[in-house]
Amino acid sequence: MQRIVLHVDMDYFFAAIEEREKPELQGKAVVVCMLSGRSGLSGAVSTCNYVARESGIRAGMSCSKAKKLNPEAVFLPVRKDFYTSVSDRVMQIFRSYADARETGDAFEQISIDEAFLEITEKTGGDFSLAFETGIQIKNEIKDKEKLTCSVGIGPNKLIAKMASSVQKPDGITVISPDKIESFLFPLKVSKLWGIGNVTARKLHEMGIVTVKDLAEHDIINLISAFGKTRGIWLKQAAAGIDDSPVKERGGTEQIGRIATLPEDTLDINPISQLLDRLAEDVISKLDSRGLSFRTVTVTVINSKFRMYTKSRTLNRPAYSKQVLLEVAREILSELLSESQTEFRRVGVRIGQLQKRMGQKSLFDY
């Protein structure tokens, strides 16, 4: 039976929710910002609607720059908890359309506003039925949440993900196996899902500009340049081959806090003080749920709004503030040693959460 995967992506999710809640915003440029709290528009753009994008506003740029690009735009603060509550309802709708399996491995949420669904069994491998399913999903989201989404349909996650971007917003695109080559080959290699800027630059240096170039390139040469695993993946991805399963992501829940420093700095003292307060909040949330953690991640955003992160995985679960701070401070020291640009925001996050087992170990002390 032909495999069929859907990728469903909510359109400009945060800004769309704000438009829904405030009808007077319709037709206006809406920009949702992560505000630092220092001054009125001190912070970075989280997302914006398509009217705002026509002005050149993009996620990640400073809110002050966005204001210069479009002084008439409406700037709103991120309401993460509210958006998450909407996301939970949306994901339940998506999940209801996925194949029903004993393993439960037919639905995979990959962010707050997008997910993969495998519908091979429900459609019998028929792409025309898959298209009808995509339309049903879009209609239900519009009816129940008054929001739009874009749907990509393909024989695997790679193709489905790339197809969902073809007709945004509020579109649906089907790429059946016989259309893969004509869909992928004309694209710039940087458009292939999973290829970042560094890899794209290296491929360009090798004379590989389009996906077709990559598909026809000698695999031995790719392995020599990128290593066996990555080289083989590049060759297969260019041909539209992707056997990765649609699978519920286990152990991905995290607890984190991020905040803005009083002023941009590379001074370890004020940065450490803020890190201590954030760690205390994180541990408090962890304690309230009786959980332990195994990964620690520190995130910094510098004065140029560039984000850097480093993580550590512990040998065993822990749940003390002392352990968290010890690891976080080590990571912070590394980030400071590698940066010449002052830090603006700092955050700490813990992951691989699990229920605590027994009493504290010596490691926790």
Residue positions annotated with a catalytic role: 114
Burial class (CB in 10 A: 0-12, 13-18, 19+), 318: buried
Residues 10, 86: Cα–Cα separation, whole Å: 11
Residue 169: is the preceding peptide bond cis (ω within 30°)? yes
The tokens 């749940």 sit on which residue? 319
Task: Look at the alpha carbons of 352, 358, 363, 365 in this order and tell me if their dihedral is positive or negative.
Answer: positive
The tokens 């609607």 sit on which residue? 49
Instruction: Quickly count: other Cβ atoms within 10 Å of residue 54's Cβ.
Output: 12
As a whole number of Å, the CA-based R_g of the chain is: 23
Task: Kindly give the pairing relationship between strand 149-154 and strand 5-10.
Answer: antiparallel
HSE at residue 246, side-chain half, CA atoms within 13 A, is 29
Contact 336, 342 (CB under 8 A): no
Tokens of 88: 């939970």
- Amino acid of residue 189: V
- Beta-strand (E) ranges in 221-342? 255-265, 291-302, 307-318
- 24-50 exposure pattern, b = at least 16 Cβ within 10 A, e = fewer: ebeebbbbbbbbbeeeebebbbbbbbe
The tokens 């024989």 sit on which residue? 155
Residue 300, strand partner residues: 308, 346
DSSP string, 44-62: EEEEE-HHHHTTT--TTSB
Contact 11, 164 (CB under 8 A): no
